[in-house]
Structure 1
Amino acid sequence: MAAVVTTLVQEVQALRARLLAGERGQAGRLPAADPAGLIDLITALEELKSASCAAQAEAATSFDAARRSQAAAAGVPASRRGVGVANEVALARRESPHRGQALLGMAKALSAEMPHTLDRLRDGSLSEFRAMLLVRESACLEVEHRILLDKELCADPACLIGVGTRELMVLARRLVAELDPAAVVRRARKAEVDRTVTVRPAPDTMGYLTGLMPVAQAVSAYASLRKAAEAARAAGDPRSLGQLMADLLLTRLTGVADTGSADSAPAVPVALTITLSDETLAGGHAAADLTAPGVAPEVLPAEIARLLAGRALESGVAAWFRRLYLSPQGALVAMTSRQRTFPNGMAEFLCQRGIGICATPYCDAPVRHADHIVGAEYGGQTSLQNGQGLCAACNYAKQAAGWFQQPLRAPGEPLQVETITPTGHRYNARAPAPPGRISA
């Protein structure tokens, strides 16, 4: 069986090489003399992508089974078998651990309960995205009902011709509601329990504040903001409806005073960290980084970074400067600290060195833990050279049997961390360049 997998890997690599080294015209483009042929090529490549995703799903399912069998043979408790498998799949696919978990779950569902959907992925009738949506929409069903949905929607490839994603989701939801109405009610109740608020960056130093809540409450909150904004507009407020709703939301949530300005939002008391080079502070053009607890980092143009810092000082808001030190090679090596306890200062430094993002390759989650690269149980020291910022999920995953990390850095050089998975595969992550440096 190992020989079969090895042969497949070699064939896929050969096909990739052929695609990369195929006949090219001027500037490396495919010749434009055959428009119809180019459309056929686009179609064939799309079908190849879907077939590749189906093969990845089957490989992930087999890999999960093999790793669980190994864990069972080693005496690992049932509750711990499979820990870290999704992370290995994520690294292999250059995805985040969260995405790896979703992909592995989809693969197992397709293999065990939705074989027709897997067939449609193989023949190109479905994309991986649409197959993922079908798995998600049917997740609340019992196995026998899920098998019926799979057969009804995907047994005949002709049924998917011309069907858009939204139409497919409507058909799936209708079938779910008909097959098991109680499951839909249970899922709705669970969804209500999962209500939450999240924040994520938007372009141009903006941000999205998203509230996930039952639709009645969401509509009610929106209607209240819109009604108040329309009343203010009728009273002569010059701001647009959108500006008024955004400012009203902020003032109602935080209690800050509304300035009534159309050009800027109300000021708020919040702790932000702006990291910029001394050249930028003095008028240079290198971008800065903005971070806040639990929020993904944002890149700030130099002028905006200086403007924010200047506003903070002019308004009397508590602000302070801390120095970050670089080696001659451009690696971040130390910082001054306001705190007497070194571990807290070191944890903040590790977060700053990674611009607030988990150091695991391809993981975009915010840093939550200050982690030893080489664990203390293996003699790893609590030091900046042996430290990194990780999200909670990645920190827990690397504790599974067979995982190992080691730093790859000479003194003064940018930090690199090598992750070795239980299968022996190696993945390297490099600390990002600090502000003011194009590359580390």
Structure 2
Amino acid sequence: MDFAHSPKAQEYIERMSHFMRTHVLPAEAEFHAALGGTSDWTKWKLPPVLESLKAKAKAEGLWNLFLPDAHHGAGLKNAEYAPLAELTGHVPWAPEIFNCNAPDTGNMEVLHMYGSKVQQDRWLEPLLAGEIRSAFCMTEPGVASSDATNMQATAVVEGNEVVLNGRKWWSTGIGHPNCRILIFMGLSDPNADKHRRHSMVLVPLDTPGVKIERMLPAFGVYDEPGGHGEVSFTNVRVPLDNVIAGIGRGFEIAQGRLGPGRIHHCMRVIGAAERALQLACARAESRVAFGKPLTHLGGNLDVIANARMAIEQARLLTLKAAWMMDTVGVKGAMSEISQIKVVAPNMAQQVIDAAIQIHGGAGVSNDFPLTELAGYARILRIADGPDEVHRGLIGKLEIKKQRALRAA
């Protein structure tokens, strides 16, 4: 593995760093001031500064960087995009500026890899242009969704239609004013092999029978302007052509979708930890207590050193996973992808918490972004599979590998 960034990646890193410093970080206060702070998503509006920043980023070619396809994206490999995702992680709402925000990235990847020409023309193209937003409806409130085979919502074929019934929640992005399309995953054939029972279906948000029941707060925050919704589907009928790739291919698509998405999440949360460490160092040097800078009190130098080492370790492991995805594919990198999904959010949670402690009361206020970053890191230990599920997979793969080594 070559640890150096490619010339192409380095050029993007420099451009992205400049854009974040010059345009995004100075706009944080303006962005938050424009939010309504209400649970009523029908009243949510896009902060004007977000739209102006998106136009700037698009004009500068900092757009759709996550897609390795040179036609639809920037043609960057996973290992080349990873440091760019880290930079956007310094500000939780920044990814949308570059049209690189979840769940739209995963949904665009699904349509790019598995969508028909008609599906791509109807939904992928406007998503790539940033004209519309989307949501992914998989997790359910009635079952333990860490085991996706528990899924109870149904997607049943009736003639030339698919009929959807069930309830989903934590459907990120569904409250966005521009959300127009959902990807619904449901049970199509309960008698098939457990990984061939489910299908993914494209559902326009305005289809009869689709109802947003409520927006869910995470740590008391509704995460405008996209939010996370609980959604009911009652006899929702869509054409059979809305099925992605074919009936029974839901799990196959999910695996293709989640691999790159986990790399993106992990690099963004590493960026959140990096930002927290920057703020902690600045605070520790600028504040004096008991006649000394905070850097010389309470073992804070050890705290800062441990944070630096933890960030570096997590970053290297994540870059290795990205490199393996580029060289051996998602299946060959399954253990490493699960490893980073455990390591990166746990590391970030510890680093951000240490930064909050160094800031004292200011750390839990809205004067600094630390509580927002802390919430993101904690949520990520559940989103895209909880720590326990990933550890279970890592352990199984390790036992299998060691058994093979002994046999050899």
TM bucket, shorter chain: under 0.3
- What's the TM-score, normalizing by structure 2? 0.28
Greater relative CO, 1 or 2 (CA 8 Å, sep 6+) = 2
